[in-house]
A and B are shown apart, each in its own frame.
Chain A
Amino acid sequence: MTAPGGRLPRRLITDLGEGDLAPSRRFARRQIVGIIFGLVGIALIAAVAPNITSDNRSFAFEPPPDPLRFEFVPTTLVTVIGVVYLVCAVLSFLPERFDRLALSAQILSAGLAIPLILGVSLALSSAPETNVTNLLDESLVLATPIALGAMTGLWCERSGIINIGIEGMMLASAGVGYMTYAVLGSASSTGWLWVSILIAIVTGGLMASLHAVLSIRYQINQIVSGVVINLFALGLTGFLRSEVIVPSGHSKGTPTPEISIPLLKDIPILGETLFAGKPLHYLMYVVVFLTWLVMYRSAWGLRVRSCGENPHAAETLGINVITIRYQAVILGGFIAGLAGAWFSMESQSGFEDNMTNAAGFIALAAMIFGKWTPWGAFGGALLFGFARALGSRLQFLSVEVGDFGIPSEFFQSLPFLVTLVVVAGALGRAVAPAAEGQPFTPSK
């Protein structure tokens, strides 16, 4: 993986200064990944394929009554994927000019891991088939808060403000939003539901303004400020839950309704997955798209990015760095508010203490995974959502190796393992916005 032209200066800094800081290794990262695929390939062909069942298994692609099926023999599936992995390993050791070929082979191999894991797990369980469409559906739904959180992080960090308070912003919005819904709308009125979602968004914006004031106006350590947000949200929502939500008598309510797009939803295979769902889930796609559009195709977006890379240069060009940073952080807060509303009013209707459960941190991971770009971060969120959906699916299949039932805890930790491996292995060093975390004092 050679650095694209735009990164050249960064590369030079690395060569001159970082030296020891840059990972030191005998092989290029591409080759290490190739070796790993090669070893997995050998293991698949030599160890897994001979021992796995050769009874037919199938993936179903549509809702139950009469689904489209893809039948396969596990032995064949494993052998074929093993061979692909071996080829991938060989390609990784070709000379530098075949870089693109090796890279595509590795991406294909990584993608094949999905049918591999699913197929092997299915073969090891007693179930004859599993529904893939459902799995994709669940992945997309579970990716919603992660993708939204990652967009929050993106807006803050591209403007130069570190945000580890995404978790707190989401939690506070989830709590305050649901409180509004429970107290004013008795947790059932549709009109109040939308108002409450709006309140959640505003709450996210308020929490973000706190972060902005602390880190821009008072220039305090931005990580400290993020921790303050997280702690404060935890206390505030706990307080509101026990003092307001529980006494109101509406601890559970009606979540957002399912909506579907009339004709498109009848498209085979993909229709149900893409065109039937809940409103905030759809809004997520809109937010991701708009984030990309505004950040990369508008003057204001360029200004935000320039504040994150070199605020002094931006100031020289007449940009008000302080204002831009306030705007970007608060915009991020609104998005976090939407994510919070998803937790307490869409995925379920109700509020529990600490219900965001580290999603904000995972969103941060997705953002870094995506190298601080909207589509990359969205990809990270999808990967995480998929790993999570897959984890619960496999748990449901009760997979057994020999007599040893693989514990459900293993599948529950799957999303985290996947993220860890991906972040450590395939990705390489992510480059953060250059001016991130540095307070800016305008020169008068």
Chain B
Amino acid sequence: MTDPVDSPRRPEGSMEGLRRRVIEGWSLQPLLVPIYAIILSFIVGGVLIAIIGINPFEAYWALIRGMFGSWDRIAGSIARSVPFIGSALALAFAFRAGLFNIGAEGQLLVGGITAAWVGTWAFMADVPGIVAVPVIILAGAAGGFFWGGIPGVLRARTGAHEVISTIMLNSIALFMVRWIVNSRDPVILRDLDASVPRTTAIADSARLPELADSQPNLHAGLFVMIGLCIVVAFVLRRTTFGFETITVGTNPHAAHYAGISVNRIIILAMALSGSFAGVAAASEVAGTNSFFQPGTFAFIGFDGIAIALLARANPIAIIPASFLWGALLSGAPLMQAEAGVSIDVVRIIQSMVLLFVAADAIVRYLFRIRAEGGHHIEAAATGWVGS
């Protein structure tokens, strides 16, 4: 990436020289912008904390201990980020096809309720976990596939823009799921013995194994989600379907001329991205509570938008980006308890991270990083019609 002849080297031993050696030696070049973006965001948050008269270092120390202070807290941070991987993946995959799927929120709900429903089927209690767990995960995927497929079909067949239809479907899903879980007359999936509205617990055999008893508990859904990211990355890079998807996302006209069925890709991409959200929801149902409660999924789809954009729609980069997101959210309560700083500071920091990563010109200017030819998400940037 760097050309030693072209760039005059500073004398060894100076700070600049050290910085260059570290960066080049560890090939940190592509990570520079995100790292500096995070540092800058914390500075902005720190200023805000200082304005309300609290020592930002104390607050951040509490935040960091909340995130990584003990093994339990580390596990909790990871656990918190697991569902984000799925919702961000849903966004990222659709992005690659030139679609803006903001319906992960609804797809999570429908996937989750489907998984919770299938998990209570009588035969699930009699089969071993090796059968029951894949069944429940697939059930979640099917629910998300269906709910994500609706806007896909509408887009392909009637031209209804997916941004509108997914937002509408989010709200419809929320009310539908609320009815399924709340209704007493008739009882649909509600657990009548529970004090709060929730579904009856799924069969024990369908539960995902627990890895750590943290808050929230870390479960094997982590591996499911990471595996899914790897599969998606492979599909996008190495398969015909992935190539077609990216071609449609980059230039639907060219894709059409090349003989790709654009409508088929649109429907499949939306449905598949919905199924990723569904898998995330199923793994939460099977891994944490063993029952479904609509409130648990609030904002997970919404945050997925930001995470996917932070990761520039790269399926592998979603994993660290989700971790950053989950860890910040999981560490915030300690910051509130110890330093008295509102949790919402974390939201401000998150928005700043996204801002600085996206507007890398600001970061490059402040820290004098030279531009690199990284790929950007061009697909969804071109407008509502996506063509």
Which A residues lie at the B interface, using CB under 8 A?
17-25, 162, 164, 214, 218, 220-225, 227-228, 231-232, 234-239, 241-243, 358, 361-362, 364-365, 368-369, 405, 407, 409-410, 412-413, 416-417, 419-420, 423-425, 427-432, 436-438
Chain B residues, Cβ within 8 Å of A227: 305-306, 309, 354
How distant is the Cα of A22 from the Cα of B263 in the complex, in angstroms? 9
Chain A residues, Cβ within 8 Å of B342: 238-239, 242-243
Asked if B237 CB lies within 8 Å of chain A CBs, one says: no
Chain B residues, Cβ within 8 Å of A368: 161, 163-164, 384
Most buried by A among B156, B343, B354, B385: B385
How distant is the Cα of A222 from the Cα of B167 in the complex, in angstroms? 19
B253 and A18 contacting across the interface, CB-CB below 8 Å: yes
Most buried by B among A224, A227, A364, A427: A224
A358 and B358 contacting across the interface, CB-CB below 8 Å: no
Taking the closest CB of chain A, its distance from the CB of B128, in whole angstroms, is: 37
Chain A residues, Cβ within 8 Å of B172: 413, 416-417, 420
How distant is the Cα of A237 from the Cα of B342 in the complex, in angstroms? 11
Task: Tell me if A's interface is mostly helix, strand, loop or mixed.
Answer: helix
Taking the closest CB of chain A, its distance from the CB of B366, in whole angstroms, is: 13
B167 and A362 contacting across the interface, CB-CB below 8 Å: yes
Chain A residues, Cβ within 8 Å of B263: 20-21, 24
How does the 8 Å CB contact mask read for B369-387 relative to A, with 1 for contact and 0 for none?
0000000110011111101
Chain B residues, Cβ within 8 Å of A432: 383-385
**Interface residues in B222-263 (C-beta closer than 8 Å to A):** 252-253, 256, 261-263
Report if A365-B261 is in contact (Cβ < 8 Å); known contacts: A214-B355, A413-B172, A416-B172.
Answer: no
Question: With contacts A409-B178, A437-B384 known, what are 20 further pairs, Cβ within 8 A?
Answer: A17-B253, A23-B159, A24-B263, A214-B355, A214-B359, A227-B306, A235-B345, A238-B343, A239-B348, A242-B342, A362-B167, A364-B164, A407-B183, A409-B182, A410-B179, A413-B174, A420-B165, A423-B165, A430-B159, A432-B383
Chain A residues, Cβ within 8 Å of B383: 162, 432, 436-438
A419 and B164 contacting across the interface, CB-CB below 8 Å: yes
How does the 8 Å CB contact mask read for B141-181 relative to A, with 1 for contact and 0 for none?
00000000000001011111101110111111011101100
Asked if B350 CB lies within 8 Å of chain A CBs, one says: yes
Asked if B296 CB lies within 8 Å of chain A CBs, one says: no
Of B156, B169, B354, B362, which one neighbours A420 at CB under 8 angstroms?
Answer: B169
A423 and B160 contacting across the interface, CB-CB below 8 Å: yes
How distant is the Cα of A99 from the Cα of B144 in the complex, in angstroms? 40
B354 nearest in chain A by CB position: A228
Taking the closest CB of chain A, its distance from the CB of B179, in whole angstroms, is: 4
How distant is the Cα of A428 from the Cα of B352 in the complex, in angstroms? 38
B380 nearest in chain A by CB position: A223
B351 and A235 contacting across the interface, CB-CB below 8 Å: yes
Asked if B323 CB lies within 8 Å of chain A CBs, one says: no
Chain B residues, Cβ within 8 Å of A222: 381
Asked if B338 CB lies within 8 Å of chain A CBs, one says: no
Chain A residues, Cβ within 8 Å of B380: 221, 223
How distant is the Cα of A362 from the Cα of B381 in the complex, in angstroms? 20
Chain B residues, Cβ within 8 Å of A420: 154, 160, 164-165, 168-169, 172
B100 and A243 contacting across the interface, CB-CB below 8 Å: no
Task: Tell me if B's interface is mostly helix, strand, loop or mixed.
Answer: helix
The 8 closest A-B pairs by CB, nearest first: A235-B347, A238-B344, A231-B351, A235-B348, A232-B351, A413-B175, A409-B179, A429-B159
Taking the closest CB of chain B, its distance from the CB of A368, in whole angstroms, is: 6
Asked if B130 CB lies within 8 Å of chain A CBs, one says: no
Asked if B346 CB lies within 8 Å of chain A CBs, one says: yes
Taking the closest CB of chain A, its distance from the CB of B10, in whole angstroms, is: 29
Of B48, B159, B171, B381, which one neighbours A221 at CB under 8 angstroms?
Answer: B381
Of B52, B256, B347, which one neighbours A234 at CB under 8 angstroms?
Answer: B347
A23 and B156 contacting across the interface, CB-CB below 8 Å: yes
How distant is the Cα of A220 from the Cα of B382 in the complex, in angstroms? 12
How distant is the Cα of A234 from the Cα of B350 in the complex, in angstroms? 11
B163 and A221 contacting across the interface, CB-CB below 8 Å: no
Q: Can you name 16 A-B residue pairings with CB atoms under 8 Å?
A: A17-B253, A18-B256, A19-B256, A20-B263, A164-B163, A221-B309, A221-B358, A221-B380, A224-B309, A227-B305, A228-B351, A365-B164, A405-B185, A409-B176, A424-B154, A432-B383
How distant is the Cα of A87 from the Cα of B145 in the complex, in angstroms? 39
B168 and A417 contacting across the interface, CB-CB below 8 Å: yes
Asked if B361 CB lies within 8 Å of chain A CBs, one says: yes
Taking the closest CB of chain B, its distance from the CB of A20, in whole angstroms, is: 5
Report if A364-B163 is in contact (Cβ < 8 Å); known contacts: A21-B256, A214-B355, A438-B383.
Answer: yes
Chain B residues, Cβ within 8 Å of A224: 309, 354, 358, 377
B298 nearest in chain A by CB position: A354
Taking the closest CB of chain B, its distance from the CB of A221, in whole angstroms, is: 4
Taking the closest CB of chain A, its distance from the CB of B184, in whole angstroms, is: 11
Taking the closest CB of chain A, its distance from the CB of B360, in whole angstroms, is: 8
A231 and B253 contacting across the interface, CB-CB below 8 Å: no
How distant is the Cα of A429 from the Cα of B158 in the complex, in angstroms? 7
How distant is the Cα of A404 from the Cα of B344 in the complex, in angstroms? 43
B253 and A239 contacting across the interface, CB-CB below 8 Å: no
Of B174, B176, B382, which one neighbours A438 at CB under 8 angstroms?
Answer: B382
Chain A residues, Cβ within 8 Å of B169: 416, 420
Report if A235-B167 is in contact (Cβ < 8 Å); known contacts: A21-B262, A424-B154, A437-B381.
Answer: no
How distant is the Cα of A412 from the Cα of B171 in the complex, in angstroms? 9
Chain A residues, Cβ within 8 Å of B348: 232, 235-236, 239
B163 and A413 contacting across the interface, CB-CB below 8 Å: no
How distant is the Cα of A148 from the Cα of B230 in the complex, in angstroms? 44
How distant is the Cα of A424 from the Cα of B162 in the complex, in angstroms? 10
B379 nearest in chain A by CB position: A221
Taking the closest CB of chain B, its distance from the CB of A186, in whole angstroms, is: 21
B53 nearest in chain A by CB position: A243
Chain B residues, Cβ within 8 Å of A358: 167, 170-171
How does the 8 Å CB contact mask read for B178-216 relative to A, with 1 for contact and 0 for none?
110011010000000000000000000000000000000
Chain A residues, Cβ within 8 Å of B179: 407, 409-410
Of A17, A419, A424, which one neighbours B158 at CB under 8 angstroms?
Answer: A424
Taking the closest CB of chain A, its distance from the CB of B104, in whole angstroms, is: 13
How distant is the Cα of A224 from the Cα of B37 in the complex, in angstroms? 15
**Interface residues in B300-348 (C-beta closer than 8 Å to A):** 305-306, 309, 342-348
How distant is the Cα of A18 from the Cα of B21 in the complex, in angstroms? 51
Chain B residues, Cβ within 8 Å of A18: 252-253, 256, 387
A433 nearest in chain B by CB position: B383
Chain A residues, Cβ within 8 Å of B385: 429, 431-432
How distant is the Cα of A369 from the Cα of B358 in the complex, in angstroms? 30
Chain A residues, Cβ within 8 Å of B253: 17-18, 21
B358 and A235 contacting across the interface, CB-CB below 8 Å: no
B262 and A20 contacting across the interface, CB-CB below 8 Å: yes
A219 nearest in chain B by CB position: B361
Taking the closest CB of chain B, its distance from the CB of A81, in whole angstroms, is: 25
B347 and A21 contacting across the interface, CB-CB below 8 Å: no
B154 nearest in chain A by CB position: A424
Chain B residues, Cβ within 8 Å of A436: 383-384
How distant is the Cα of A429 from the Cα of B163 in the complex, in angstroms? 14
How distant is the Cα of A163 from the Cα of B182 in the complex, in angstroms? 36
How distant is the Cα of A243 from the Cα of B345 in the complex, in angstroms? 11
How distant is the Cα of A126 from the Cα of B180 in the complex, in angstroms? 25
B362 nearest in chain A by CB position: A218
Taking the closest CB of chain B, its distance from the CB of A441, in whole angstroms, is: 13
